[in-house]
Amino acid sequence: MTNVDLPTRDRFGSKFGVIAATAGSAIGLGNIWRFPYVLGENGGGAFLLIYLIFVLAIGIPVMMSEFIIGRSAQLNPVGAFKKLAPRKPWFLIGIMGVGAAFMILAFYAVIAGWTLEYIYQSIANGFKDKSPAELGVMFDSFREGSVRPVIWFLVFMAFTALIVSAGVKNGIEKYAKILMPILLVLLIILCIRAVTFKGAGAGLAFLFKPDFSIFSDFKAATSTILKALGQAFFSLSIGMGTLITYGSYISKKDNLATTAVTVSLADTFIAVLAGVAIFPVVFAFGINAAEGEDLVYKTLPIIFQQMSGGYIFSLMFFLLLGLAALTSTISVLEVVVAYFVEELGMVRKRATLVATLCISFLGLFAAASWGWFKNLTLFKQNVFGILDFTSANILLPLGGLFIVLFIGWYYGRKRSGQELSAEGTLKVRYLPFFIFIVKFVAPIAIALVFLNLFGVFNFN
């Protein structure tokens, strides 16, 4: 049964709390680990430019759509669609979102767990006197050993569960308010240190000076464009119902458009800062910018141990990455917990426990994907790869596509305008533009990404 008007329904306590919590969800491994490596593989500045366009033109409208759905319905993603479109199959988007949350958390918390190992190694001075090759071996043997990745994964899941079980105001909002500003300060310190390296200029040029020669090759250009859109989706936490859930906790008086704009800009700012922290270092030490997904874990320790203050520097960096990941994992678990509480009638603590245990079970296989379960493969992908691919590349774009279609073609201009204007108290002159984007621009763009991922165009 859907419990429509829960009198005790939790709510964010302040405008800053909303922004901190939503930004906390958006800012995570996606910004600091994924953004630099994808940018590094896709031509630097040109990628950044396209990425910025997508965040503004598509990311913000999709985020607003999720907020509209969540705040109108005051429910979790499944209940929200059931309430706004009774007896229609739209609620399946919410079910897919809960499924995606399970899968995303199961692999995302594994990467977050690696951060804990590297915090530990930083404290224990484990990078000291190791050659770059030895550092690579160190990472590989850590991952293949399975015991430590599994333990760190479980520790990270426990942290996430503890915060989520405390509820929205006492848990998520309180921690996000403390963690996000700390994150920003640490990242700025990291940037200042990075740009003062000899040879840092080349890294900044790579990041900020678009090299449009990639556009001379149609295939490469299209691939870059599509990857930028995909990264925007992942980084902004859209397409899964996370921001439907958070939207349901936003006060009816808050301005959804300015919240979406603020959060998207903050998320993008952090991603760019991560780029400023990483690329000067990459270039100053002659590391390949297109190194790939192991850029952070295999490369940074090399640099940290070769510079003065590296001990504290590496500790700060991995701590920062862990904190950013934590405010993101909280938001993913919250989707499942809100669903269990409101649709299955569980109390919050029990819902958190059940969700955490189920996800942890799935995640055990992901965490040990390179060791114990390395032979457990499908289409040559290990468990981690399957979860990563299916959730991020299939479920998210599909969810995002349906969310904008829902707002554009079903929920409609009138009701969306009502919600965006906070019941007529705010001006919404951008409404026709917003509707045009969610009706046409965003669905077409997302569909292109989606088709690309199925290899329909074979851009790679």
> In this complex, which beta carbon is closest to ligand TRP, that of residue 146 or of residue 237?
237
352 binds ligand TRP (CB under 6 A): no
In whole angstroms, give the CA distance from residue 252 to residue 224: 39
224 binds ligand TRP (CB under 6 A): no
28 binds ligand TRP (CB under 6 A): yes
Phi, then psi, of 381 in degrees rounded to 5: -105, 140
Least distance in angstroms from the C-beta of 14 to ligand TRP: 22
Inter-residue contact 335 to 98 (CB < 8 Å) = yes
Q: 398: which 2 tokens?
A: 């599909």
> In this complex, which beta carbon is closest to ligand TRP, that of residue 25 or of residue 268?
25
User: In this structure, what is the dihedral angle of CA atoms 251, 252, 253, 256, given to the nearest 10 degrees?
Assistant: 80
Rounded to a whole number of angstroms, the distance between the first and last alpha carbons of the chain is 46
369 binds ligand TRP (CB under 6 A): no
Task: Please identify which residue in 17, 24, 30, 77 interacts with ligand TRP, judged by CB under 6 A.
Answer: 30
240 binds ligand TRP (CB under 6 A): yes
Task: Please identify which residue in 21, 23, 25, 323 interacts with ligand TRP, judged by CB under 6 A.
Answer: 25
180 binds ligand TRP (CB under 6 A): no
26 binds ligand TRP (CB under 6 A): yes
What residues contact residue 322 under an 8 Å CB cut-off, 6+ apart?
112, 115, 116, 119, 156
Inter-residue contact 71 to 253 (CB < 8 Å) = no
In sequence order, what are the beta bridge partners of 378? 381
**Options 20-28, 116-124, 157-165, 177-185: segment touching ligand TRP (CB under 6 A):** 20-28
Task: Please identify which residue in 20, 23, 29, 446 interacts with ligand TRP, judged by CB under 6 A.
Answer: 29
Nearest residue to 62 (alpha-carbon basis) of 176, 231, 232, 226: 232
Task: Please identify which residue in 65, 223, 237, 268 interacts with ligand TRP, judged by CB under 6 A.
Answer: 237
Q: 164: which 2 tokens?
A: 């989520």
Q: How many residues sit in the footprint of ligand TRP (CB under 6 A)?
A: 16
Inter-residue contact 332 to 246 (CB < 8 Å) = no
> In this complex, which beta carbon is closest to ligand TRP, that of residue 268 or of residue 331?
331
337 binds ligand TRP (CB under 6 A): no
**Options 73-81, 239-247, 315-323, 376-384: segment touching ligand TRP (CB under 6 A):** 239-247
> In this complex, which beta carbon is closest to ligand TRP, that of residue 119 or of residue 214?
119
Task: Please identify which residue in 19, 24, 31, 227 interacts with ligand TRP, judged by CB under 6 A.
Answer: 31
- CA 344 to chain CA mean position, Å: 27
Least distance in angstroms from the C-beta of 284 to ligand TRP: 26
3-class SS letters over 378-409: ECCECHHHHHHHHHHHHHHHHHHHHHHHHHHH
Which of 170-192 are b and which e, b meaning 16 or more Cβ less than 10 Å from the residue's Cβ? ebbbbbbbebbeebbebbeebbe
Least distance in angstroms from the C-beta of 421 to ligand TRP: 27
331 binds ligand TRP (CB under 6 A): yes
In whole angstroms, give the CA distance from residue 366 to residue 382: 8
Least distance in angstroms from the C-beta of 35 to ligand TRP: 8
165 binds ligand TRP (CB under 6 A): no
Taking CB atoms, the residue at the shortest distance from ligand TRP is 30
Q: How far is CA 311 from CA 119, 128, 131, 194, in A?
A: 10, 9, 16, 15
**Options 29-37, 83-91, 251-259, 300-308: segment touching ligand TRP (CB under 6 A):** 29-37
DSSP 237-284: T-SSSHHHHHHTTS-TTS-HHHHHHHHHHHHHHHHHHHHHHHHHHHHH
Q: 329: which 2 tokens?
A: 């994992």
390 binds ligand TRP (CB under 6 A): no
Contact positions vs ligand TRP (CB under 6 A): 25-26, 28-31, 234-235, 237, 239-240, 242, 328, 331-332, 396
